[in-house]
Amino acid sequence: MSERSDQTTTGILGTIATPGDLKRLSPEQLTLLAAEIRDFLVAKVSRTGGHLGPNLGVVETTLALHRVFDSPRDRILFDTGHQAYVHKIVTGRQDGFDLLRQRGGLSGYPSRAESEHDLIENSHASTALSYADGLAKAFTLRGEDRHVVAVVGDGALTGGMCWEALNNIAAAKNKLVIVVNDNGRSYAPTIGGLADHLSTLRLNPGYERVLDLVKNALGSTPVVGKPAYEVLHAVKKGIKDAVSPQPMFEDLGIKYIGPVDGHDHQAMESALRRAKGFNAPVIVHAVTRKGYGYRPAEDDEADCLHGPGAFDPQTGALTAKPSVKWTHVFAEELVAIADERPDVVGITAAMAEPTGIAALAKKYPARAYDVGIAEQHAATSAAGLAMGGLHPVVAVYATFLNRAFDQVLLDVAMHELPVTFVLDRAGVTGPDGPSHYGIWDMSVFGVVPGLRIAAPRDAATLREELREAVAVDDGPTIVRFPTGSVAADLPAVRRAGPVDVLHEGERKDVLLVAVGAFAKLGMDVAERLAEQGYGVTVVDPRWVRPVPIELVGLADRHRLVVTLEDGVRAGGVGEAVAATLRDAGADVPLRSFGVPTGFHPHGTRAEILASLGLTAQDVARDVTEWVSKLEEASGERQPAS
């Protein structure tokens, strides 16, 4: 990468304000523009963090898309949405990259609020083809001469929704172009038979080189040479036909063009123009390299700098100080458990490194399964593994398990199968925005019969609760934890059944039930209330579903129960505790703090929590007011402030 100044509007890039500006550029100018865009991406993402590798790999393909199609009249949909940075750049959002993924700044995904060029805000994979199918049908029914283009990349074709959509797209015969951005990877290399089929030409081009060598050698043999070469060429053609994806897609009734070098803008434009002129479903198979053009990304075997935090643009090294992450603690403990129990296996959905399953795969490769972007399959495959006498640990981001609710409910729980789901990035996660917030799990999965949910507060309780989860043999379990660095261990003063008592004041004014990572918030609230003369007992239930019955006895000894949870309040832990108290006849008022139902904007975790009133100051103020009103109603004297 060449060095550039902080000025980002110089050069050819500085002349691009709309997609139409691309159409006047010469091939040479396009080549220079692609280099400038890569420099721009590295410079900006190195400061803010973000999805670098996927966007470096899709530069020329995106430029070709906007030269051939007329956005926003023609609709361009990105699946997955994290490969849309270049699209943002050429649709007038260059200045927004200074605040990429920061509060009030540019989203890391397509955003309807940002631009008329963004139609869907998808950051969950394998959905764009279904959107595109419906949109193309709508255009046809309304008599509108418009194209729909779906850019499918980063392993999204391993998701089942893509194939459900393809089946319908083929039957509809509408103006729909599918660009398969085939970089052979999701985070890590894409897994599965389909991925192997698609990548054969890209990963194994040896037969082309062998053909050239044999042609050169046999060409010098006057009698045998040419006939032998023709035979070999026929064999080679047969091999290519056998491994090419073309028959697979055309058997569905979808025209196939490719494979095309996705980094050759002229080749991509030619392929896209042919596809556009076909006026029916077409797949353009673009072969690209994730991280292309930036050596540190190309050399990063783990994930091609898929989504780094802030980093040194010259070396690619992260600038944040190393710290112990929740994922690392889980990964380490899972391997330790696997050392002791040969029946424990791991499953992940295209995220072995980000979820920690890679550590298990490294030591026990036969006991770790990456199923691709297929959370539904992961859950039911885990059910099968459990039926076969194993204990699967399914590690996914909390937001992605939402996609497999039916499988958890009916394929796992109804059969009372011992499957442990480990949910990384639970709660408000920050810069990735509302689609990635893991705030739904305790509400959504709280209704599943027989499912137990644990929420560790620190490294020690994560290790402990993970072991407790895999010890359960009569139903599914969930262990959820947030993203980022693990908080300092917060030891209990005593344990009441499964409930950890973290703090006990002399007075019994408030029982504060702090869930998981909110334990530290609960302690801070207790300290502020103590300054007002109120006594608080802070407890961590550890296992939030089913609600520990011990909470009833604790609640009976207090004036008010307050719950704190890093999840949506509707149907959450607070409501579950309230129902448990009512069922037990405990006549204690309860107030709950949690995330309001809604799609909250991106920002840092601290910023989002502050905006939602989930800080020690906000919570302590409200609790003080509630206790004061209870005292007034009972005629008791309020403590001195």
List, by residue number, the catalytic residues: 290, 375, 403
Residues 6+ apart with CB under 8 A from 620: 524, 525, 528, 529, 532
Strands 494-496 and 536-540: unpaired
* CA–CA separation, 517 and 507 (whole Å): 25
Beta carbons within 10 angstroms of residue 601's beta carbon: 16
Separation in Å, CA 211 to CA 27, 203, 208, 229: 32, 16, 5, 8
Residue with tokens 């966007």: 55
Token look-up 């309860």 returns 590
Residue 352 near residue 188 (C-beta atoms within 8 A): yes
Q: How far is CA 251 from the centre of its chain?
A: 32
How many residues in the chain? 641
Task: Give Cα separations from 591 to 56, 622, 630 (angstroms).
Answer: 48, 10, 12
* Exposed/middle/buried for residue 585 (C-beta within 10 Å: 0-12, 13-18, 19+): exposed
Q: Where are the alpha helices (DSSP H) in 225-325?
A: 225-243, 246-250, 265-278, 295-298
Residues 31, 265 contacting (CB under 8 angstroms): yes
| Residue 369: φ, ψ to 5° | -125, 125
Residue 266 main-chain phi, psi, to 5 deg: -70, -40
Closest CA to 253 of 174, 179, 199, 194: 174
Sheet containing strand 420-424, strands side by side: 368-370, 344-348, 391-397, 420-424, 477-480, 452-454, 543-545
3-class SS string, 52-84: CHHHHCCHHHHHHHHHHCCCCCCEEEEECHHHC
**Cβ proximity of 72 and 18 under 8 Å:** no
CA-closest candidate to residue 33, choices 53, 70, 69, 60: 60
440: its two tokens: 């739904």
